[in-house]
Structure 1
Amino acid sequence: MSGELVYVYGVAAAGPGLVETVPALRGVGGEGVRVVEDSGLAAVVGPVAAADFEQAPLAAHLEDLAWLEAVARAHHEVVDAVAAAGPVLPLRLATVYRDEDAVRALLADGRAVFAPRLDKLAGQVEWGVKVHLAPTTPTTPAAPPAGEPARAAGPGTAGAGRAYLRARGHERRSREGAYREAAAAVAEVRAAAAAYATEQVRHRVQQGALAGGGPENVANDAFLVPSDSCAAFLTAVRRAAESLPAVRVEITGPWAPYSFAALDDAVPAPGGGAAAGP
């Protein structure tokens, strides 16, 4: 196993602004970040330990949430700093290559995809818009008498069972109504956002630990917005949200265009590279 691999944060257009920005950055291991150029493009890279980023140790590290969070935070800090200097195509977390020659091959082989995509993203940023069901006070249906089977005979049993079934039916209808209202609200929010966006991506809604235990997430979208339209975009989405009591809208950003790099199928297999991350 060699001692170091080359971690690639993203691809950008080569230029003086990038060269001036990168030397001040520190990467996922605290290492200095540099630029590798080829074919008019630049890969923002840094050295990382093979003991952490070869396929087998990386697979183990990905089970360590604290390690993964630290790497993700450092990765995003580098990408966001580069994005402030110009358009960037962020690569997936933990994309590594054996050496700089392999990175140059990546740039040369991928130029037909990278260059037009960078042109498309110039002057634009990503905003996240999540829609959650508005918090409500749940209605707990009346339960049958404790310790008494539902089929048991006796005074009052039938009345208690009917009340329980009515409460359950009311709860189901209320939930169905809440989803119908939320679906209509999502359509309004999306329409308001799309009026100022050039592209939209609908991500999978967040569930479980990703949802943070809050109200249910019913839409999780990303919008690519020209920088000079961001104020109008935010105003439109916030106005739509204020008129929709059935949902709560969360806006995050601006971000580098992670959702719009569209590189998963376009990045050539590493020429002698080690592994691509998650």
Structure 2
Amino acid sequence: MTEHSPEAPGTTALYVYAVCRADGSPALDGVAGVTRDEPLRTLSLGSLTAIVQTVRAAEFTDEAWQERLTDEPELERYARAHHEVVSAVAAQAPTVPLPLATLYTAEDRAERVLGNESARFHTALERIAHHAEWGVKVYAAGSPDEDGGGAAAQRPGTPSPPDARGRPAPGAGRAYLERKRNLQARRERQREESLRVAETVDTRVCRIAKASRRLRPHGPGAAGGHRVQVLNATYLVAEHRSAELDLLAQDLRESTGAGIELSGPWVPYSFVGEV
């Protein structure tokens, strides 16, 4: 829905944050948005209401936005300001958040385009009403020793037998390969068990969730340390079942031994486009 605005000095554009039902028009006091030049306001879309703000078009040209994408602190400032508005609205009524930097060159253009999407918005609002988004991340429990462990691994500082004369002991090569095979087998068993745990967690959480999405797991080190993430998912859960979800996560931690992180509740960004 993003339209890029003309660059002429003094030209303005309409920034759209979110859409909610007309009968749920929220109070916007105390929330600034992405600019302090103009206040947040509502734009009527018949049975719906859009949360909008007039901004300087020059700040959202392709060139300006590409430059902002390389300035992480500045980009984060805009993202936080956008999310603050969406969160404030969602705290008062079911809300469909729009992507960062959704702009229209004119108010009547926004009314026409957003109005044409009214059926999609109503379906999304019906779906997420009284629900929140929760994130669940599962990390594999432990990992086998890199050296294969056991007494067969020679301890640092252990002297070689006097008659070795720098030559490997008989059978040393076979013993080394056997340790490597055992280590690989343990790693494979652990990987399979971790994947079974991930499926168990997902299945159990899905029983109390209205909808779910599986995301790409993060690589080792993304969350600190060397933990291996085996599940990265998000769930749409009814507000009255949030305590049940918390208890379920604790039960799964105890029964599986896996590291399970539960985050939320969040505005259901992940579930407003699947309608």
> Under a length normalisation based on structure 2, what TM-score does the superposition of the two structures give?
0.81
Corresponding residue SS for 1:10: strand
> SS of the residue aligned with 1:22?
coil
Gaps of 5+ in 1: 144-153, 267-278
Match of 2:193 in 1: 181
Larger RCO (alpha carbons 8 Å, 6+ apart)? 1
Choose from 251, 255, 260 the match for 2:266. Answer: 255
In structure 2, the residue matched to 1:230 is: 242
- How much has 1:240 moved relative to structure 2? 1.4
Partner of 2:104: 97
Q: In the alignment, is residue 5 of structure 1 matched against residue 4 of structure 2?
A: no
Cα–Cα, structure 1 residues 58 and 158, in superposed 2: closer, same or farther, change >3 Å? farther
Shift, 1:87, TM fit:
0.8
Q: Is the 8 A contact 1:22 1:35 kept in 2?
A: no
Q: How far apart are the structure 1 equivalents of 2:259 and 2:130?
A: 29
**Cα distance in 2, alignment partners of residues 24 and 123 from structure 1:** 24
The 3 A distance-change label for structure 1 pair 178 and 6 is farther
- State the AA in 2 paired with 1:130: K
Q: Report the TM-score, using the length of structure 1 for normalisation.
A: 0.80
Displacement of 1:85 after TM fit? 0.6
Q: Secondary structure of the residue that 2:244 maps to in structure 1?
A: helix
Matched with 1:275 is: none
Q: Superposed, which structure 2 residues align to 1:1-278 within 5 Å?
A: 1-2=7-8, 3-15=11-23, 17-19=24-26, 21-30=27-36, 32-136=39-143, 138-140=145-147, 155-156=167-168, 159-207=171-219, 210-212=222-224, 215-245=227-257, 247-262=258-273
Question: Superposition RMSD on alpha carbons, in Å?
Answer: 2.7
What amino acid is aligned across from residue 220 of structure 1 in structure 2? Answer: N
Residues 59 and 223 of structure 1, relative CA distance in 2, 3 Å threshold: same
Q: Which runs of 4+ in 1 moved over 6 A?
A: none
Change (3 A) 1:86 1:165: same
How much has 1:208 moved relative to structure 2? 6.9
Q: Return closer, same or farther for 1:163/1:109 CA change in 2, 3 Å cut-off.
A: same
User: Are the structure 2 counterparts of residues 199 and 180 from structure 1 closer, same or farther at C-alpha, using a change threshold of 3 Å?
Assistant: same
- Structure 2 CA distance for aligned equivalents of residues 161 and 93 of structure 1: 59
Give the C-alpha shift of residue 13 in structure 1: 0.9
The 1-side partners of 2:42 and 2:221 are apart by: 36
CA distance in 2, matches of 1:51, 1:210: 36
CA distance in 2, matches of 1:220, 1:248: 12
Q: What stretches of structure 2 of length at least 5 have no aligned partner?
A: 1-6, 155-165
> Deviation digits for residues 141-190 of structure 1, max 9, x if unmatched?
679xxxxxxxxxx7217755444433332332222122111111112211
Q: CA deviation at 1:118?
A: 0.6
CA distance in 1, matches of 2:86, 2:261: 23
Contact 1:87/1:123 (<8 A) preserved: yes
Distance in 2 between residues matched to 1:213 and 1:7, nearest whole Å: 40
Q: 1:200 to 1:159 in 2, by over 3 A?
A: same
Q: Which amino acid aligns with 1:232?
A: E
Q: Deviations over 1:209-253 (max 9, x none)?
A: 7545551222111111111111112212221122111x2111110
Q: Give the Cα separation in 2 of the matches to 1:212 and 1:54.
A: 37
The answer (yes or no) to whether the contact 1:43–1:103 under 8 Å persists in 2 is: no
Asked if the contact 2:220–2:228 (Cα under 8 Å) also holds between the matched residues in 1, the reply is no
Q: Is the 8 A contact 1:41 1:107 kept in 2?
A: no
Q: Percent identity?
A: 35
SS of residue paired to 1:94 = coil
Amino acid paired to 1:24: G
